[in-house]
Structure 1
Amino acid sequence: MQVIDRRKALSIPPIWRLAFRPFFLAGSVYALLAVPLWVAAWTGLWPGLQPTGGWLAWHRHEMLFGFAMAIVAGFLLTAVQTWTGQVAPSGNRLMALALVWLAARLGWLFGLPLALLVPLELLFPLAVALLMAQMLWAVRQKRNYPIVAVLSLMIAADVLVLVGLLQGDDGLQRQGVWAGLWLVAALMALIGGRVIPFFTQRGLGWVEAIKPWVWLDIALLVGTALIAILYAMGLGLQAHPLLGLLFALVGAGHLLRLARWYDKGIWGVALLWSLHLAMLWLVVAAFGLALWHFGLLVNASPALHALSVGSMSGLILAMIARVTLGHTGRPLQPPAGVVAAFVLFNLGTLARVFLAAVWPVAGLWLAALCWTLAFLIYAWRYAPMLVRARVDGHPG
């Protein structure tokens, strides 16, 4: 960077210097508040407040398009600066983007009329997709164009949910949410397929990198995106053996990739095994849904929560724990308590996926407690890093 650019960058308050800072912090705080609030409402302990569309609609939408999209935005709008050499949003632009996200979250929770909520809700993902497209197009970085395509489909899934709310159609809402979940899984397949083997190589000190099987990476991206499209069309809501085969193939593909990345040394590095376990939950989700479509399971909910809690949210927690350290100039050693957060999170996922199927109330409360403690530990340990300047004095 030129000296004048550096001076300008350092004049910005640290929290607004790069997107990972406000969105990792806001997303983690939102996560630790939203889940216990949902369980309290579901069990009748929070009877007064009614979000737009009711509590179930709020929970389904906000865990995906509120919490997860905040982290996705923070990660992508930070990474794209490294990928392209273009200046990412910072300062007032980043503050405005964060305020739009926050306004939509408050609007959903406090029952903002749909006529006002719909444009407010869509403004944030549209802005993120346009910013990504603009920066990638400026350098013609075709390798990352699929990310913009997935973000665009995420907006379409969000529109589907909103149309379902406007029409009072629960089926449309479920189509949009399930499609959105598998679009996030497509991003996980794409970005996780790049960074997890790289992080594993660096973390274990391997001399040679794990060479990707390009055909497998493409197949997983296409297969996962196809699942999302089928859900959006309403074709995944009913059990069908052909869909079961598709889920089984996607699960087998992810399991094969995990086997290629595996080394027993990961169990000594929390920032690695947390990533690998998150991707393993994706395998559990895919095989679970395959069994449901084959008629061997009576309920698809545990498999969907293996995806939304164990895999999507587990990968979020593992990634933000590592990325925050790297982007604030710190050694890649998690602070005290963070390993416990990873353990708690995965115990909570076990409770949500398996225990809640037998003892719903006890399983949900245990899962919510573990989830909340895990994100509370992250927020407690990492908030000081996110709101302060890098320890090495560099911008960012």
Structure 2
Amino acid sequence: MQVLDRRKALSIPPVWRLAFRPFFLAGSIFAMLAIPLWIAAWTGLWPGFQPTGGWLAWHRHEMLFGFAMAIVAGFVLTAGQTWTGQPGVSGNRLMVLAGVWLAARLSWLLGLPLVLLAPLNLLFLLGVLVLIGRMLWVVRQTRNYPIVVVLSLMIGAELLVLSGIALGDDGLQRQGVLAALWLVAALMTLIGGRVIPFFTQRGLGRTAQVKAWPWLDWSLLVGSALIAVLYASGVALVAHALLGVLFLAVGLGHLLRLIRWYDAGIRNVPLLWSLHLAMLWLVVATVGLALWNFGLLNNSSPSLHALSVGAMGGLILAMIARVTLGHTGRPLELPPGIVWAFVLFNLGALSRVFLSTLWPLGSLWLAAACWAAALGLYVWRYAPMLVTARVDGHPG
């Protein structure tokens, strides 16, 4: 707030004052609608048009590059102001970036030619990369340069997916999508490792924060990035015992961090247990993929959905619920119904991961219903906060 021209900032419509506002709202609405649409299309209840590359390509791409990257954009471009002391992205620049994101989503869903679709999707990621990269470069904040590296690799993953669409190569698309999923996991590792111990200490009123082990944090970040590269190359698509060792090491590293962060008090604070539970899903995912690589599981899909639905989706919901409160000047007290959103999200993840073999169709619909209901609760309770001014009268 000290770096902003207050009068100019307050003249901007509230929804365009910081990036978390449009991207948290639009990303949540999009994901709330996209999963039921995908299940309806996959089960034959939506027999109409086909998006670019077909419904499976649309689903895999949009949950990562559409939903997850919208939330990442909202978070890093908002946090960048705190990290660097530079004014956050707002006003016309934010409107243009959000417009590009929306155009990219529509281009894929409406089946536009690749020559139009590809530039829009790449332009959004490039815009986020340039904006946060500039903020960090101006003050030479090397601590956050890994975020720039991960976003750069995300553009490479997007190029793989688009190349797969152009060539009609499903394997190449899958390489890009799974690489992107693990790059999101790398961001979760980096950002979660910083904020979850801090949020836990503040939320429970503890006098000291759990001291980080830099070697562990860096090992998990590098391990996740390595897995992303192995997926991008196609190596990780085939089970191998050495890959199992890598996945198991990453999973045990995340479990060790969770044990170090644990405090019995989090069980009474939904804003905290939701964060810790999301990171526990990351452990479930990595251990499951280790078992698949060791030949002890027949299918990697449940483990990948433990990562995408339980860990990624769960952490997104927990983070945006807290960040929205803090950045709109409100006390960290959940609105009515949001605890149920956390519960529903995790029930949906349990259904998708553990019931898909026993109850294939029913588990998908149950997971989709829980996902949509959870995000619907967030949109219902938080949309008014995101489109109106801060309650304390400050800009932002």
**TM-score of Structure 1 vs Structure 2, range by shorter chain:** over 0.9
SS in 1 for 2:5: helix
Tell me how far 1:89 sits from its aligned partner.
1.2
CA shift in 2, pair 1:237/1:377, >3 Å: same
Q: Give runs of aligned pairs for residues 251-290 of structure 1, distance below 5 A.
A: 251-290=251-290
1:370 aligns with 2:370: yes
Do 2:349 and 2:367's aligned partners in 1 also have CA atoms closer than 8 Å?
yes
What amino acid does structure 1 have at the position aligned with 2:274?
Answer: S
Q: Which residue of 2 aligns with 1:167?
A: 167
Aligned to 1:338: 338
Match of 2:314 in 1: 314
Q: Which residue identity is paired with 2:72?
A: V
Residue matched to 1:208: 208
CA distance in 2 between counterparts of 1:41 and 1:390 reads 40
Corresponding residue of 1:66: 66
Structure 1 residue 110, shift from structure 2 partner: 0.5
Spell out, residue by residue over 1:368-389, the C-alpha distance to the aligned partner (whole angstroms, 9 max, x if none). 0000000000000000000000
Q: Secondary structure at the match of 1:44?
A: coil
How far does residue 70 in structure 1 lie from its aligned partner after superposition? 0.2
Contact 2:3 2:85 in 1 (8 A): no
Give distance in 1, aligned partners of 2:4 and 2:335: 34
Q: Which residue matches 1:186? A: 186
Q: Per-residue deviation at 1:246?
A: 0.1
Q: Quick one: structure 1 residues 353 and 4, their matched pair in 2 at CA, closer, same or farther if it must change by over 3 Å?
A: closer
Q: What is the rounded CA distance, in whole Å, between the counterparts of 1:386 and 1:211 in structure 2?
A: 33
Count of residue pairs brought into register by the alignment: 396
What is the SS of the residue equivalent to 1:65? helix
How far did 1:264 drift? Answer: 1.3
Q: 2: distance between equivalents of 1:165 and 1:138?
A: 37
For 2:117 and 2:2, the matched residues in 1 are separated by: 42
Distance (whole Å) between structure 2 residues aligned to residue 235 and residue 310 of structure 1 = 25
The percent of aligned pairs where both chains have the same amino acid is 76
Alignment partner, residue 361 of structure 1:
361
State the AA in 2 paired with 1:255: L
The amino acid across from 1:217 in the alignment is: D
Q: Distance in 1 between matches of 2:367 and 2:178?
A: 21
Alignment partner of 1:77 is 2:80: no
Question: Which amino acid in 2 is paired with 1:169?
Answer: D
The aligned amino acid for 1:286 is: T
Shift of the alpha carbon at 1:93? 0.7
Following TM superposition, by how much is the alpha carbon of 1:356 offset from its aligned partner in structure 2, in angstroms?
Answer: 1.4
Instruction: Tell me the alpha carbon deviations over residues 111-165 of structure 1, each in whole angstroms, 9 at most, x when there is no partner.
Output: 0101110111100000000111111000000000000000000010011000000
1:20 alignment counterpart = 20
Distance in 1 between residues matched to 2:26 and 2:111, nearest whole Å: 21
In the other structure, the counterpart of 1:56 is 56
Measure how far apart 1:3 and its partner are.
10
Partner of 1:179, secondary structure, is: helix
Corresponding position: 1:352 with 2:349: no
Superposition deviation, residue 49 in structure 1: 1.9
Distance (Å, rounded) in 1 between the aligned partners of 2:223 and 2:93:
36
* Structure 2 unpaired stretches of 5+: none
1:304 — aligned with what? 304
Distance 2:348 2:370 in 1: 5
Match of 2:122 in 1: 122
- 1:229 counterpart letter in structure 2: V
Q: Deviations over 1:73-98 (max 9, x none)?
A: 00000000110011121111100100
Q: Distance in 2 between matches of 1:73 and 1:127?
A: 10
Q: 1:137 to 1:3 in 2, by over 3 A?
A: closer
Partner of 1:220: 220
Compute the TM-score of the two structures, normalised by the length of structure 2: 0.99
Question: Are 1:235 and 2:229 counterparts?
Answer: no
CA contact (8 A) 2:239 2:294 kept: yes
CA distance in 1 between partners of 2:188 and 2:366 (Å) = 27
* Cα deviation, residue 52, structure 1: 0.3
Cα offset, 1:4, TM superposition: 8.3
For 1:13, the aligned partner's letter is P
Following superposition, which runs of at least 4 residues in structure 1 exceed 4 angstroms of deviation? Answer: 1-4
**1:94-173 map, 5 Å:** 94-173=94-173
Equivalent-residue separation in structure 1 for 2:154 and 2:388 (angstroms): 32
Q: 1:2 Cα shift?
A: 6.9
Contact 2:3/2:87 (CA < 8 Å) preserved in 1?
no
Structure 1 gaps, min length 5: none
Q: Distance in 1 between matches of 2:212 and 2:3?
A: 39
Aligned counterparts of 1:91 and 1:168: Cα–Cα separation in 2: 39
Looking at structure 1, the residues matched to 7 and 132 of structure 2 have their Cα atoms a distance apart, in angstroms, of 25
1:326-354: CA deviation from partner (whole Å, max 9, x where unpaired): 00000001100000000000000000001
CA distance in 1, matches of 2:252, 2:347: 24
The secondary structure found in structure 2 opposite 1:39 is helix
Amino acid at match of 1:218: W
**What code does the residue aligned with 1:248 have?**
L
**How far is the alpha carbon of 1:358 from its aligned partner?**
1.5
Distance of 2:284 and 2:133 partners within structure 1: 33
Counterpart of 1:369, as a letter, is: A
Asked if the contact 2:154–2:180 (Cα under 8 Å) also holds between the matched residues in 1, the reply is: yes
TM-score, reference length from structure 1: 0.99
Q: Taking structure 1 as reference, are residues 160 and 10 closer, same or farther at Cα in structure 2, changes over 3 Å only?
A: same
